[in-house]
Chain A
């Protein structure tokens, strides 16, 4: 088990190192000069050169990379080319907001999708099951921003129950945080519920055909009991994979929801930074996102081992 963790840690560090090189290089070959963007097209060549000197963009690539990585190892992402402010507190603030919305959205989605998907599978021949499956099909096709706009139209504009947007950190005013976080989380969760219901339905349908459920019933279990005791855990293995993939794509795709609800998340920060050619900010944000996704993948692998002894015993032996 220890060797497994060490290997996982090595994999994590290796992946991050490769990712950092790629991110760094891709941003360097992208067209657009940071100095020109920062100072405007009317800036004198002297001013541009001075800016480059000050921000280090005229030193050799290797040196730039080493400086950047050296900072990251101390959790310092440098300063923004555009605002001149330190990036680290900004990025951490923003990523927190996105993680809260995405995390709550997925938890809510799973709370709804696990019973719905299981029900849809168990009753797959009855109108109820067909109805759930059909509704989830439609839900998958809905873009989350459209759901967001509809939710705003209903709860903020027509009913006036909740604010239409904006953000409040939970540490300052928790009840206001709840009022502001509800709609964006609901918008994300609605679509994810549909997606997860579909996956859970097919995973449970698959497991329902397994011989060991029949064995459990032959041993005296009722159908429902056999499904709960043996079926759901077996169905969880493929679902964990999907949750990992969905979380990663939600994290990146959160920008849309952040825009609709005017939420200061990492996604909108990234889009702004790209627009402003703020290389330093872009590479810092992307690095943070990559780290989260890689850690998520490792968490998924570890969950497999918890769930499935075949993987656990193979990896640990």
Chain B
């Protein structure tokens, strides 16, 4: 292929329902070997654009305009059958959810072989007469290339036997199996742990570079784009509002929306009431150890989950000791399987330790009476990760927020008033009460969840990944809200997150967990600026950071 022919050339691409235009006249072109990012919030049309290129739009949407892949005639409007030969061979795609993107009932090797067969690969094309082990032999090189530790056994594995990162490697192997001219990646690492994300991103960039293929990389994460791509397109409401090299767009954004997006993702500019880097280290909002007794204390907490007679038990927590002081914002950071969620379950008494004790306000949870537990639960409320999943879709906001008050037998008039005050405090209009969760955006829903948590006037709030399901622009607002409310109400906040960057900006102190143990505890500043443990160093290095200085 000559360098003159772009990997993909999109012009005047529109996607519409019968009544609405969702993608409006999008134009761009990607040269062979070029890596282009497509950023925007949920609903901006970035995923629809990629699906339209691949001819994979849901059938209630129609595309118009022109898309040429590697010099092909216009593929927009082709039937499924006409489009199929392009997919996987000329253009291929990696999707966001590694958990659901592979057929759970089919061996990984068979799924990869299927793609090879579509590409006319002779080694697998006569698979009808070949044995399964021959077939798996043929896919081993592809699985080796994406860095799977044991490619031969990975070929025989079913998807559920692989980790999220391994599945995403398999997806990449499938996408690149037939040497396509264009690779479309739709949030390929959003569901992965940061250290795994870093590896998968590096792998993808390397393989695309080696092949000289064009890459269209869709993400909401600006830091990831700046790491992977050379050029970026910013989408808003179905339009590309700005495009150019990463340095130009991030360095001197022209469009107002891009500026807002950049400001929101740059947590540095956020003032969440933490002692700033330049301030005197001794003058600190953070309560000092020894001043007051800890409000939460983990002493040598271990948790072992047994998995039946045949599988070895899992040590989810191993001798964890932590002290959290009143008024402190405390972060627990770790990747999946680190034990951070188990720690939350212990703290909220949803689970009991195998050994060791958890104390809240001097009360040992394992010795607490029923009425003490009830009082404690009122005093300690939770905010969950998925604001839509954790709000009952058939209840009005008023009832959702009032629900914790019902248990306290508070009279109706007082309840209504408390709820309205609480909604105002989280920045929602009081007339919110009559509406339902689906009528709100993700950020608003998380505000509602925070209102529900705070309505009983608790002194401890436990938040499980409170902003990781939110768009960047909303994330900053919710963090600000959490910071303001915890300060105003003198709350103790315990936050679990996979994102060291978020914890760094919100929390006074942080515990880093790995494989059930706390490997490092300290002020967030210490831990970020001078990590002691090798795992913390790795975590910090893997956390994507915007590499371009903004001049807003």
Contacts and interface: CB of A to CB of B under 8 A. Distances in A.
Interface of A: 125, 210-212, 214-224, 229-230, 233-234, 307-310, 313, 317
A114 to B, nearest CB: 17
Contacts of A221: 84, 114, 118
A220 B103 contact: no
B171 A216 contact: no
B249 interface: no
A217 B161 contact: no
B311 interface: yes
B105 interface: yes
B310 A218 contact: no
Contact of A220 (B59, B105, B115, B158): B115
Contacts of B10: none
A163 to B, nearest CB: 46
Band of interface residues on B: 35 or more
A216 B100 CA distance: 12
B280 to A, nearest CB: 52
Contacts of B95: 211, 214-215, 218
Contacts of B310: 317
Given A218-B175, A219-B87, A310 B104 contact: yes
Nearest to A213: B103
A220 B89 contact: yes
A302 to B, nearest CB: 16
A267 B514 CA distance: 63
A260 B544 CA distance: 74
B160 A310 contact: yes
B104 A220 contact: no
A309 B119 contact: no
A214 B93 CA distance: 10
Contact of B105 (A125, A219, A224, A308): A308
A216 B81 contact: no
B102 interface: yes
Interface string B95-117: 10100111111100001001100
Contacts of B115: 219-220
9 contacts: A125-B60, A211-B100, A215-B101, A219-B115, A219-B174, A220-B85, A234-B103, A308-B105, A310-B160
A305 to B, nearest CB: 12
Interface string B66-105: 0000000000000011001101110011010100111111
Interface of B: 54, 56, 59-60, 80-81, 84-85, 87-89, 92-93, 95, 97, 100-106, 111, 114-115, 118-119, 158, 160-161, 171, 174-175, 177-178, 310-311
A216 B103 contact: yes
Main secondary structure of the interface of A (DSSP, over half): helix
Contacts of A308: 104-105
Nearest 5 Cβ contacts at the A-B interface: A220-B118, A220-B88, A219-B115, A219-B88, A211-B100
Contacts of B119: 220
Contacts of B177: 219
B118 A317 contact: no
Main secondary structure of the interface of B (DSSP, over half): loop
Contacts of B102: 212, 215
Contact of A216 (B54, B114, B175): B114
Nearest to B90: A220
A220 B175 CA distance: 10
A234 B174 CA distance: 21
Contact of B56 (A125, A214, A310): A214
A233 B105 contact: yes
A49 to B, nearest CB: 56
Nearest to A3: B310
A313 B308 CA distance: 13
Kindly name the residue among A216, A219, A317 whose own CB sees the greatest number of chain B CB atoms within 10 A: A219
A308 B102 CA distance: 14
B103 A219 contact: no
A222 B101 CA distance: 17
A219 B104 contact: no
Given A214-B56, A220-B178, A308-B104, 11 more contacts: A211-B95, A212-B100, A215-B111, A220-B88, A223-B80, A224-B80, A233-B105, A234-B105, A307-B105, A309-B105, A313-B158
Contacts of A310: 104, 158, 160
Contact of B100 (A210, A223, A229, A313): A210
Contacts of B80: 217, 222-224
A222 B118 CA distance: 10
B352 to A, nearest CB: 26
B100 A218 contact: no
A67 B119 CA distance: 70
Contacts of B56: 214, 217-218
B215 to A, nearest CB: 15
Contacts of A215: 95, 101-103, 111, 171, 174
B305 to A, nearest CB: 15
Kindly name the residue among A210, A222, A229 whose own CB sees the greatest number of chain B CB atoms within 10 A: A222
B67 to A, nearest CB: 15
A229 B311 CA distance: 33
Contacts of B118: 219-221
A230 B118 CA distance: 15
A222 B161 CA distance: 28
Nearest to A218: B93
A214 B87 CA distance: 11
A230 to B, nearest CB: 5
A222 B174 CA distance: 16
Contact of A229 (B114, B158, B175): B114
A212 B311 contact: no
A199 B107 CA distance: 27
B79 to A, nearest CB: 9
Given A211-B100, A234-B105, A308-B104, A220 B161 contact: no
B103 A309 contact: no
